[in-house]
Structure 1
Amino acid sequence: MWRVLRGDTLSRRERQQLVRTVSDLFRIVPFSIFIIVPFLELTLPIFIKLFPNMLPSTFQESSKEEERLRKQVQVKVEMAKFLQDTIEEIALERRSKAIEPKGSKAVEFAQFIKKVRSEGGYVSNKDLLKFTKLFEDELTLDNLSMSQLRSLCRVMSIQPLGSPEILRFQLHMKLRELKADDKQIAAEGGVEALSTIDLQQACRARGMRAIGLSEERLREQLGQWLELSLNDKIPPSLLLLSRALYLPEDISFTDRLKALVQSLPEGIAESTRQKLTELEGGKVDHKARLDLIRQIEEAIAKEKAMEEEKKKKEEVDPKDLSSIEQILVGGPI
């Protein structure tokens, strides 16, 4: 703490230890109430049962921690499957045909999207890494639906509570944190300088599998992440979505990125193309802007309709209740 106040730079491990210690100190504050109020310590087991995160990290048992991590992995796998299904459902062919000057980056990007989404369309890794840099985190998160945002929050161990804007803000802050962590890992010697526990924590924070893998496998997948994030400048949002897709473990990162670009919502690609056109000094067709707004509104309306339909299914019809009561009253005990 004194080094931070003096302005000294902490290593990655020292910073994690400082965060852990400060959080433990804040967790100790509620326990002072149990000491001050008479006989309130008798209710301490109940509070610990209801709020297990109140305990500092030094009081957590390793067996319970492993069980909690296994449950988190199961939830992440289920959410990854759901996220892939929802992304695949809204994957559509590009419909906009805005006129752009030949040789512009926007035209090349549009041709790349068309090629990667066409069946059997071959895309080189060079083109894939070149154009995936253009998918900014803000554009990607802004075009994800509420259900996809919640699924991505669960994959990243973020509580999916609040409006879409709050979820996007939390995910954006998480992406900034991961990008800063990537730079710090690379500056301190790369993945080879990390211990096994640090490797597991880093992989888990990036939505990757961390339990049941060898140390070599952990270093390999984290090294691939750092290479794409730092050297190839791939946005962390695309890397997270590529890891969230429920694909076999032996598929490479580039193949995952290609599968992700094929299934991205149409609005993300169109927003990126329009932004490229503006950066090059061109003018975006008003019809293209209206089409993009219309697509977003249709997606929002579709999402609201699905939520209303889900609520209707959860509600029980009064006629069904009366019939059930008649069966229970008239039937045998």
Structure 2
Amino acid sequence: MKQAQKELYTAQEAVGAGAVDAEKTVVSSGENPTSEEKILATKKAEEEKKLTVMEKIKHGVQHFWDGTKLLGTEIKISWKLALKMAAGYELSRRERRQLERTVKDLGRLVPFSVFIIVPAGELFLPFALKLFPNMLPSTYEDQSAKDKKMKKLRTTRKDVSALIKRTLQETGIPVSIPTRQSKEFTEFFRKIRTSGESPSREDLIRVCKIFKDDVTLDNLSRPQLVGMCRYMNLNSFGTDAMLRYNIRHRMRQMKRDDRAISYEGIESLTVPELQNACASRGIRTHGVSPGHLRDDLNTWLELRLKHGIPSTLLILSNAFMYAQGKDAEIDSHYDALQAVLSSIPEELFHEIELEVHDMEGAATNKQRLEVIREQQELIEEENKERDESSKAGAETQAPYYDRDIDEKVVELKEDEPSLTPGAEEAKQAVSDQKVEDAKKA
């Protein structure tokens, strides 16, 4: 099994390394291609044009056969990983991602196999793949298709980055200092909104921890929710409740992945794995060296796990930084977090303000009434949207998500291996069974 895993990881890293080599010429010049890159692209296109029809068919059949063998190897390895997990043992991050990828490929294989089984169905396969590109298992996807997806995602994130920044800045409000009862809260927002001073990093982290993920998501407008979904490469269609559910679900997955990377160490990631980890968190990867990516990912883990900064604020801060150029005003995660806090929506600001005052026992009925009215307006907008969708015949019931994204878990000792619930009992049962077998022998 270890030998098969090693061969599979080597093949996958080779594919990722090919993508890295293809982007090496772009690293020095950023997003704009130079004349040399244009010449290389022209030569590559000419070489592709020289291929005959039979050569293209042969290449396609060979690619299909290699993908089938790779899928078979993945299924074989993932089956053993599933048995290992069923026995109660904890999978490493790399093993878990391998199992998840294979399960997704098997799910995609069901509609894909229909075109192979049905007579003459393969004639309609190109049209189906054009309409539904994600229907193809990852083992059959060629490098050009992956490059197109990554280029499309980079373009989308650039556009969405500007959109999120603009919408948040439009909802910014002036601070009325007489209504502030918390000294830290007052001083912080006075610095970033009124006087333009830069607060210390300690004050920034202390205030960011107040903005919980669930409260922040509940007070974002629909354009901001759609922008976050598009930036995180999620489906942006559906009601506001569905969008919030999708974001919360992705945030929880990201939090578990953060713990796994922190436990195993950033140095254990290969370059393709490092790029995928940064891209899933909205961190720019195109034209960035692996060393810089490790620094960015390390900063993310430090802010998220050590300081407890909500994922929502970190994603928004990455969106603020994504479209910045070399001479950008925002050159660090801390500056981006400060820019996000200075542009938060009015409803979110009032609710967090009330929460701070409630903790100190200084909240007034006037503040509570103002927050209740704002929340009631948001509830009425959601109900109106639900009624309109119901009349149109669309599904409006979003899954109920009652688990906090920042739910605390039992901390494990550093010298103690990470095990799933019931793992100790499973290991004890296996040990007892071995003892009984030895006695019988």
Partner of 1:149: 225
TM-score, normalising length from structure 1? 0.82
Measure, in 2, the Cα distance between the counterparts of 1:132 and 1:99.
17
CA offset at residue 234 of structure 1?
A: 1.0
Partner of 1:257: 337
| Matching of residue 203 in structure 1 with residue 278 in structure 2 | yes
Measure, in 2, the Cα distance between the counterparts of 1:302 and 1:81.
26
CA offset at residue 41 of structure 1?
A: 2.9
Partner of 1:17: 98
Q: Where do 1:281-320 residues align within 5 Å?
A: 282=361, 284-295=363-374
Q: 1:91 to 1:301 in 2, by over 3 A?
A: farther
Residue of 299, 305, 309 corresponding to 1:234: 309
**Cα displacement string for residues 56-113 of structure 1 (whole angstroms, at most 9, x for unaligned residues):** 111101122012101110111100101100100110113485474xxxxx44223322
SS of the residue aligned with 2:211? coil
**Cα displacement string for residues 113-147 of structure 1 (whole angstroms, at most 9, x for unaligned residues):** 23321133231111111111111001111111100
**Cα displacement string for residues 192-250 of structure 1 (whole angstroms, at most 9, x for unaligned residues):** 22111111101111111112211111111111111111111111111111111144467
Partner of 1:310: none
**Cα displacement string for residues 257-283 of structure 1 (whole angstroms, at most 9, x for unaligned residues):** 111111112322221222233334x26
Partner of 1:222: 297
Measure, in 2, the Cα distance between the counterparts of 1:32 and 1:73.
31
Measure, in 2, the Cα distance between the counterparts of 1:93 and 1:216.
40
Moved more, 260-269 or 88-97: 88-97
The answer (yes or no) to whether the contact 2:173–2:346 under 8 Å persists in 1 is yes
TM-score, normalising length from structure 2? 0.63
Q: 1:235 to 1:70 in 2, by over 3 A?
A: same
The answer (yes or no) to whether the contact 2:354–2:363 under 8 Å persists in 1 is yes
The answer (yes or no) to whether the contact 2:180–2:186 under 8 Å persists in 1 is no
RMSD over equivalenced CA pairs, Å:
2.3
Q: 1:97 to 1:142 in 2, by over 3 A?
A: farther
SS of the residue aligned with 2:342? helix
Residue of 169, 174, 191 corresponding to 1:93: 174
The answer (yes or no) to whether the contact 1:110–1:273 under 8 Å persists in 2 is no
Q: 1:226 to 1:79 in 2, by over 3 A?
A: same
Structure 2 portions without partners, runs of 5+: 1-81, 383-441
Residue of 238, 242, 246 corresponding to 1:170: 246
The answer (yes or no) to whether the contact 2:175–2:194 under 8 Å persists in 1 is no
Residue of 350, 360, 364 corresponding to 1:270: 350
Measure, in 1, the Cα distance between the counterparts of 2:119 and 2:162.
50
Identity between Structure 1 and Structure 2 (%): 40
The answer (yes or no) to whether the contact 1:98–1:285 under 8 Å persists in 2 is no
Q: 1:64 to 1:5 in 2, by over 3 A?
A: same
Aligned residue identity for 1:90: T
Q: 1:56 to 1:99 in 2, by over 3 A?
A: closer
Residue of 54, 64, 67 corresponding to 2:135: 54
SS of the residue aligned with 2:124? helix
The answer (yes or no) to whether the contact 1:145–1:300 under 8 Å persists in 2 is no
Partner of 1:139: 215
CA offset at residue 173 of structure 1?
A: 1.4
Measure, in 1, the Cα distance between the counterparts of 2:173 and 2:379.
16
Aligned residue identity for 1:268: L
Measure, in 1, the Cα distance between the counterparts of 2:131 and 2:324.
36
Residue of 263, 275, 281 corresponding to 1:187: 263
Partner of 1:129: 205
Structure 1 portions without partners, runs of 5+: 101-105, 304-333
Measure, in 1, the Cα distance between the counterparts of 2:177 and 2:380.
21
Aligned residue identity for 2:111: P
Q: 1:300 to 1:78 in 2, by over 3 A?
A: farther
The answer (yes or no) to whether the contact 1:113–1:269 under 8 Å persists in 2 is no
SS of the residue aligned with 2:104? helix
Measure, in 2, the Cα distance between the counterparts of 1:44 and 1:140.
43
The answer (yes or no) to whether the contact 1:160–1:167 under 8 Å persists in 2 is yes
Measure, in 1, the Cα distance between the counterparts of 2:180 and 2:196.
26
Q: 1:97 to 1:174 in 2, by over 3 A?
A: farther
| Matching of residue 161 in structure 1 with residue 240 in structure 2 | no
SS of the residue aligned with 1:273? helix
Partner of 2:126: 45
